[in-house]
Amino acid sequence: MAHIMLKKLKVPANSGSLEEARSRTFEFFRMCCRSIPHIMEIYNLYDVVTPSQLRSAAAAEVRKNSNVTNPKVIDMLLFKGTEELMNIVNQSKQRHHIVGQYVVGNQGLVQDLAAKDQDTSNFLKNFYGSNYS
């Protein structure tokens, strides 16, 4: 249902107060959460991630900007967030975008899993860690 709602979405008027921007942020986050089942379906993500992990990833994206207190900036961030969500829901992205950004992106693209990875230099590890955001 959420993804049908998303197609009719328009740019709202500016938030008058921080409180309004705050409630809009929660509204946006709820919309993200409600499109997760659809996203799981269209990108076939069942074997790599669970809906609750995706929900946490979305919450982490919102939390990245938790220090912002200017309602205008929050409005702009919400606009960008909605744009991103629309791109995902309309399948303007491909599976690896989603997997890279929201599934493995949180832990870093390159992970030390095998025994030989332990010998990699710290310089390379930092490089891999910083090169994807």
The site for other proteins (CB under 8 A) is made up of 1, 23, 26-27, 29-30, 33-34, 37, 51-52, 55-56, 59, 62-63, 66
CB-nearer residue toward other proteins: 62 or 128: 62
CB-nearer residue toward other proteins: 48 or 62: 62
CA dihedral of 75, 9, 61, 72, whole degrees rounded to 10:
0
Cβ at position 120, least distance to other proteins in Å: 28
Distance CA 17, CA 48 (A): 40
Burial category of 70 from C-beta neighbours within 10 Å (exposed 0-12, middle 13-18, buried 19 and up): exposed
Cβ at position 30, least distance to other proteins in Å: 6
Cβ at position 131, least distance to other proteins in Å: 26
DSSP, collapsed to helix, strand or coil, labels residue 50 as coil
